Structure 1
Amino acid sequence: MEQGSAREDSWLSYAGTTPPGVPSARVHEQARGEHTHSEPPAPRTVQRHSVRGQILDALRAALVDGELAPGQVYSAPALGARFGVSATPVREAMQRLATEGAVEVVPNRGFRVSERGPRELAELAEVRALIEVPVMLRLARTVPTGHWTALRPLADATVAAAAVGDRASYAESDRAFHQAVLSLAGNHQLVQVADDLHRRSQWPLVSNPATRRADLLADAVEHTALLDALIARNLDVVQSLVREHFTGAES
């Protein structure tokens, strides 16, 4: 058995009833250097892939929040100590983030957080628009109103996260909303490609590591306005809102 597995089980025992693959509150608290003093629930058995999944979610949250700074190198053992787990699940999660363009492997040192500029963000927004705009316009013509109404809670979740300035929660709810919309096209490959581009566009810029709450809220409000237009089948407004949504992502 790999050394450090006992520490992983101890850390995960605080996850309570959190479903596998969903980060617990304790994970996010430790990612921010905080501690919880509440009475932990009884330990439970968790498979190894759940450890990596929760670490991956916590690292993504730290990246979106700017806690892992662009250009800085972080070692798996140091991050493992921060989360209270061995280096192995951290290293595995970082390897996954490397495939997403969030970090770069630095041999014998660890992982460097990728440095992105406005041009890369603009290019990502342009590609996303080329994919999502025509799909949304087609869906606006064909999808029954009830399907759009069912997405209202997802749009509301983005507004709620933006209102309190929770960038990590907003990033996940934003992706969930776009995934739900595109999934109505019935094309799994489309959803996967669009989601990969979306996630890459969420990593902070070097020049602006922290997105302002006002910017998040403006972006979130566009989701609710888009749903209203889709329900009303107002194609002109849908096209205008979607293009504006991606144009705003470039700035």
Structure 2
Amino acid sequence: MSDLKPRNLISVQERLRDQVAHALRAALISGELRPGVVYSAPALAADFGVSATPVREAMLDLAREGLVEAVRNKGFRVTELSERDLDEYTEIRALIEVPTVGRVAGVATAEQLEALRPQAQAIVAAARKHDLIGYLEADRQFHLDLLALAGNTRLVETVGDLRKRSRLYGLNRLDQRGELVSSAEEHLELLDVLLTGDAKAAEECMTRHLGHVRHLWAQGEQGSVGR
């Protein structure tokens, strides 16, 4: 019998699953995997040069995030978001994030806010380097860490889930048009406003930012599915 411990094998399998999930997210963002299209695990596995098992497991992870949906005996369909979906996600985020940012303006210290500046700068840097995965990851981390300063863990978890479900379609097209850089720079603007302690101004800044994000979603949606 082998001396390998089961937990080591599981660890390797989990890492492969995570790597495949990361690659699939990148394909979703770039538009290689298109909304409404059904993809089989064996076909994707052949593209990645791995077995079908980690691909199926990674797809199940993406299904739990609302990015794909299982199609019986066929594979997985990339989830399509309607204009109504985008509006509803934006409304929910605004209801949660705008007043929370206002609260953060009143309770966060300058040191806590400045600690977020490297993340905000990373968003801008990723946009300028056309690093789409890096852009989304830095953007997600900045927003969740900022909201965490309000002290409500469940709120942060809820927003994190919303962000997963409302990812950007056709992000590569937005990048090519140079629209990501200006959106990225809004995070630095928000930080500067928060440092003044003006809750109302911070809420207004966050409202503008979410409005711009909604516009980007719409542009990406139109560009990727031809609506």
Normalised by the length of structure 1, the TM-score is 0.77
* Kept in 1: contact 2:101–2:199 (CA 8 A): no
Structure 1: distance between partners of 2:90 and 2:172: 18
Equivalent position to 1:245, from 184, 209, 212: 209
State the superposition RMSD in angstroms: 1.8
Residue deviations 1:51-109 (CA, integer Å, cap 9, x gap): 11111111112111211111111111111122221111110111111122111111111
Q: What is the aligned partner in structure 2 of residue 118 from structure 1?
A: 83
Q: Extract unaligned runs of 5+ from structure 2.
A: 1-9, 216-227
Which stretch shows the higher mean deviation, 211-220 or 169-178? Answer: 211-220
How do 1:131-170 and structure 2 match up within 5 A?
131-170=96-135
Structure number with the higher helix fraction is 2
Q: What is the aligned partner in structure 2 of residue 211 from structure 1?
A: 174
What is the deviation of 1:118? Answer: 2.5
Structure 2: distance between partners of 1:200 and 1:140: 27
* Kept in 2: contact 1:102–1:203 (CA 8 A): no
Equivalent position to 2:138, from 162, 169, 173: 173
Q: Extract unaligned runs of 5+ from structure 1.
A: 1-44
SS at match of 1:242: helix
How many residues are paired up?
205
Q: What is the aligned partner in structure 2 of residue 95 from structure 1?
A: 60
- For the pair 1:60 / 2:28, whether they are aligned, the reply is no
What is the deviation of 1:137? Answer: 0.6
Could you tell me the percent identity over the aligned residues? 47
What is the deviation of 1:46? Answer: 5.5
Q: What is the aligned partner in structure 2 of residue 20 from structure 1?
A: none
What is the deviation of 1:154? Answer: 0.3
Residue deviations 1:188-211 (CA, integer Å, cap 9, x gap): 221111011012111416xx8733
Normalised by the length of structure 2, the TM-score is 0.84
CA distance 1:70–1:107, shift in 2 (3 Å): same
Letter in 1 for 2:101: M
